[in-house]
Chain A
Amino acid sequence: MMDAVGTPQSVLVLGGTSDIGLAVARRLVARRPARLVLAARPSPRRDAAVASLSAAGHEVTAVDFDAEDLPGHPGAVDAAFAGGDVDVAVVAFGVLGDQERAWRDHATAVHLMQVNTTAAVSVGVLLASRMAAQGHGTVIALSSVAGERPRRSNFVYGASKAGMDAFYTGLREAVRADGVRVVVVRPGFVTSAMTQGLARVPLSTDPDTVAEHVVRGLALRRETVWTPPALRWVMSALRHLPGPVFRRLPI
């Protein structure tokens, strides 16, 4: 069970090798040993994550999960819940893709949307029904500020995140009466394995900082977490800029 101050006893990370997902999980259980399920494709990275979290005193299991294998999702989520209630599920998988290829190349675009949107919705539906049956649980959906207003520089990724963001924002209301919380997290540019090699931008952040804001937001019962928090106001301003002005911004 999640306690009164936002500390869970069991955490599932879908995309169990994601830097942000793992950072969030680590921070959520930092104060107490917990049961963790890392759902990801088998890989040395996954093994390393299992090993390091086990060494920290947690009970860790790995579940095979491939975001691209949509028909495999129900089985993977069943396996993730096999050990008992899941207090927090972090939906952490996603791909950034090559933007310039993504809007020109059919396969690249479809792949991006499949992983970031379709697969996210797919697990969202499964998590919602599992947690509604439990009568409790928190889904942390890692969205992105990129979904807030499409930009020339990454609108395919933005579109995919806008789709998942809208889904989880709506899901939040659908499952509220079942005791389930949905927290949508909108980070700015996060330096991580996913963004390696890309130039950093202002208000960029790192997985640990994202995790810190998420955990803080949970204790405060926030439903949307902007990280860094200033992005909320920046994006709010950007959303209302006239098109011609927005277009000329170096972002």
Chain B
Amino acid sequence: MTPRKTLTGWGGTAPTAADVVRPGDADGVAAALARRDPRGVVVRGLGRSYGDAAQNAGGTVLDLTGLRRVLAVDVERATVTAEAGVSLDHLMRTLLPLGLFVPVTPGTRQVTVGGAIAADVHGKDHHVRGSFSRHVAGMDLMLADGSVRHLTPDGSPDLFWATVGGMGLTGVILRAQLRMLPVQTSSVVVDTERVPDLDAVMDRMTTDDERYTYSVAWVDCLARGGALGRSVLTRGWPARLDQLPPGARGRALAFAPRRAPTVPVTSPVPLVNRSAVRVLNEAWYRRAPRERRRDVQGIAEFFHPLDVVESWPRVYGPRGFVQYQLVVPFSAPDAVRRCLQTLHRHDVVVSLAVLKRFGPGTPAPLSFPAPGWTLALDLPVVPDLAGVLDRLDALVLDAGGRVYLAKDARFPASDLHRMYPDIDRWRQVRRSVDPDGVLSSDLSRRLGL
């Protein structure tokens, strides 16, 4: 008997039950696929996607965190071969001391290599380094029938790019070869500035983002009117050895962030509470230096501030929250403003908002990043949220933008092709490797993928 479990994404919404199997190797994966569960199979990494991508109601969920070996490291060429269940956290802990950093890191280290490819994740450096898939030299994909294909961008472009951003629906990524980023230190040199409104922050970023490797603006989402979009802008570069204080150079590559403490089940200050959000936002903005240059920060502090509290979604309470992440072309910056205004007009509590600029995308039909402004919003579920998000969809669609499937939990299937115009090409590739639709998830059912 495989244990049945109810699962949700990181947002804690829409729980469904599935048989969860945790294979330890490729044979185990093949065995699970061979069960031919009539409701299909989907892989789950560390469950950090916010919506329903890594769950499969009534079917089988393959917890891939048992495939967790780092198989080969070539320090000179800066490449690593790792099993798909290896977390980016683990890669950082083991490879930073060797001077290798993961090429792209999302806002949490607690994601697997497989999840990073399947969602084609992006980091604060997208405008210069692109998304995760740009650094994948090759991967092994187990298809629904149990056969394994080695995929490279040049050798098998169709299936490679359908798997990138493919949300686990083309097969099970077993292992991947990654091009790592050589670094001299495990620190980042950071410039921080407060910017008074949205125009100013977009202006600042447009003017000189290209100078920085990393760039992101934390938007105070409660500021309205003239202060709409006021932000704390943090941008930086990987620190060179000579940029560290002399005393710190002996342990330049140290990386051992403390394991995250967990949040008590009932948090004293649920963030759905408007005044709590206001106080926190105000404090954050005021705490940020008006302007500070060349500050040296650790990687964990800079990239993963949210990893400090492991189960922070719990602070949103039992209803959970939706993360809405959009990208609109540079030609339509006003859509960002109108989204923020719409949320304000409907009094929706936004507990976190982050703005950044994307660089060029990839050939992957379902990959999210595309050149433009991306805004990510944490929205605790309230009764009228559904209607308000429909309005945001309309703004995003009008602007020629799209939303991120790894975070989506409520987008209407009918409009998907407008956001991902190549989706039919993707469907074709998927059908060619999984004609019976063995790989399926709540997301694929909901969106008719």
User: Which residues of A line the B interface, CB within 8 A?
Assistant: 1-7, 9, 31-33, 85, 132-136, 176-180, 215-216, 219-221
Minimum C-beta distance from A29 to chain B (A): 12
Contact B16 A136 (CB under 8 A): yes
Residues of A within 8 A of B14 (CB): 1-4, 136
The list of the 5 closest CB pairs from A to B, nearest first, reads A135-B58, A179-B17, A4-B409, A4-B13, A135-B57
Give the CA-CA distance A85 to B38 in the complex, in Å.
13
Contact B51 A136 (CB under 8 A): no
Contact A7 B17 (CB under 8 A): no
Against A, the Cβ 8 Å flags (1 = close, 0 = not) of B69-104 are 000000000000000000000000000000000000
Give the CA-CA distance A5 to B382 in the complex, in Å.
8
Residues of B within 8 A of A9 (CB): 413, 446
Minimum C-beta distance from A240 to chain B (A): 28
Interface of chain A, helix or strand or loop or mixed? loop
Does B414 sit at the interface, judged by CB under 8 A? yes
Residues of B within 8 A of A215 (CB): 383
Contact A33 B414 (CB under 8 A): yes
Does B15 sit at the interface, judged by CB under 8 A? yes
Number of interface residues of B (CB under 8 A): 36
Residues of A within 8 A of B58 (CB): 133-136, 179
Minimum C-beta distance from A42 to chain B (A): 31
Contact A1 B446 (CB under 8 A): yes
Question: Which of B11, B59, B387 contacts A4, CB < 8 Å?
Answer: B11
Total A-B residue contacts, Cβ distance less than 8 Å: 95
Residues of B within 8 A of A221 (CB): 318-319
Residues of A within 8 A of B6 (CB): 176-179
Question: Which of B4, B39, B410 contacts A178, CB < 8 Å?
Answer: B4
Give the CA-CA distance A195 to B389 in the complex, in Å.
38
Does B381 sit at the interface, judged by CB under 8 A? yes
Instruction: Say yes or no: A31-B15 contact (C-beta < 8 A), given A7-B410, A177-B4, A220-B319.
Output: no
Residues of A within 8 A of B413 (CB): 9
Residues of B within 8 A of A179 (CB): 6, 15-18, 57-58
Residues of B within 8 A of A178 (CB): 4, 6, 17
Against A, the Cβ 8 Å flags (1 = close, 0 = not) of B331-344 are 00000000000000
Give the CA-CA distance A176 to B381 in the complex, in Å.
21
Give the CA-CA distance A180 to B57 in the complex, in Å.
10
Instruction: Say yes or no: A3-B446 contact (C-beta < 8 A), given A31-B387, A177-B17, A219-B386.
Output: yes
Give the CA-CA distance A2 to B6 in the complex, in Å.
15
Q: List B residues 306-326 near A (Cβ within 8 Å).
A: 318-320, 322
Contact B39 A135 (CB under 8 A): yes
Contact A135 B381 (CB under 8 A): no
Does B412 sit at the interface, judged by CB under 8 A? yes
